[in-house]
Amino acid sequence: MQTTNKNRASDHTKGVVACLCVVICWTGFNIITRFGAKNVFTPFDLGALRFSISGIIALPIFLYLVPKDNWPKYIVLSIFGGLGYSLFVYSGFVYAPSAHAGVFVNGGIPFWAAILVAFSSQFKMPKNLILALALSTIGLLMIGFDSLFVQSMDGEWRGDILFFIAALTWAVFGFLIRRWQIRPFLAMLGIASFAAVIYLPIYILWLPKTILSASFDQIALQGFYQGIVAALFAGGMYGYAVQKIGTREAAMLLTLVPALSALGGYFFLAESLTWIVILGVAIVSLAGFLGAIPAANLNKEAS
């Protein structure tokens, strides 16, 4: 019994460390992607850089390790955790700043994760999770109000909606990877492989491009971060964290990202922060901490 408890504690620690790695990677992702979307690249260019680089690395390994009979699940994961998430996020950065991405994506993921957990557990939710959902809703509404009525940037609310949809697709990915018990390493390989196969022909033939006007340094920065750090490393770490500590707690820990993204956008991209945004970030972050508190009455599937 003592050995089992130690193993569980060790797994929990590993999961938390993996989640903190994701927090760092996704904070950088919000800042670097916003920088690219504001300057040279279209959302489709960023998607092409992400899927081409990660796909080149992942495809041969995936074909070697995963039998064809298992491919359908990986295709589904690539639609939610690869194509859907990435393209909605990249499109959102055209309209809205990194602080909003931190709130609506990284704060929205635990919101949607809690909803999915509620459905899967027939709405047997602990009090701390209910409170976390309520606070998350308040924070998200505050940022939405700021986008519609306070900020003068045209179309900022469109970015918020796109970010929130992206959060839903990632929450579904996290839920499925735990439900299907797919190894995080294989999940990332499958997502990168099928996203590249599906997306790149469409991008080359039909989607608008401005990548040829970008400098080598810009392409190298976005290619490395989107294709390796975001697509492979951060995604793999999130999948690993979900396996170790569960969908809910992993998602809730990511609410550290909004505050860090807001600060990064302010210092590195000169993005303004209104008091509504600052308060909304604080509320969503608090909701994440409350939601991450372990609850004894959650069953294993809903954790």
**What residue has token string 């995604």?**
235
Query: In the chain, what's the furthest Cα-to-Cα distance?
Result: 62
Give the residue among 185, 181, 139, 189 at the shortest CA–CA distance from 164. 139
At 299, phi and psi to the nearest 5?
-75, 175
Residue 87: the pLDDT is: 94
DSSP label at 271? -
DSSP label at 123? T
Give the residue among 86, 117, 104 at the shortest CA–CA distance from 249. 117
What is the Cα–Cα distance from 127 to 139, expressed in whole angstroms?
18
| Predicted structure pTM score | 0.84
Residue 249: the pLDDT is: 73
85-95 vs 156-179: helix axis angle to the nearest 10?
Answer: 160
Residue 24: the pLDDT is: 92
Give the residue among 91, 230, 110 at the shortest CA–CA distance from 174. 110
- Helix (H), strand (E), coil (C) string for 267-294: HHCCCCCCHHHHHHHHHHHHHHHHHCCC
How large is the C-alpha radius of gyration of the chain? Answer: 19
* Helix locations, 66-126, DSSP H: 71-77, 85-95, 98-101, 108-120
Count CA atoms within 13 Å of residue 242 on its CB side: 31
DSSP label at 256? G
3-class DSSP state for residue 161?
Answer: helix
Along the 303 residues of the chain, how does pLDDT read in single tens digits?
555 555 665 878 888 889 889 989 989 999 999 999 888 899 999 999 999 999 999 999 999 999 999 999 999 999 999 999 999 999 999 988 888 888 888 778 878 887 887 787 665 667 777 787 788 788 877 877 776 666 556 678 899 899 999 999 999 998 898 889 898 889 999 999 999 999 999 999 999 999 999 999 999 999 999 999 999 898 888 888 888 887 667 766 776 788 888 888 888 888 877 888 888 888 877 876 776 665 544 444 444
Residues 6+ apart with CB under 8 A from 12: 244, 245
At 45, phi and psi to the nearest 5?
-65, -45
Residue 118: the pLDDT is: 76
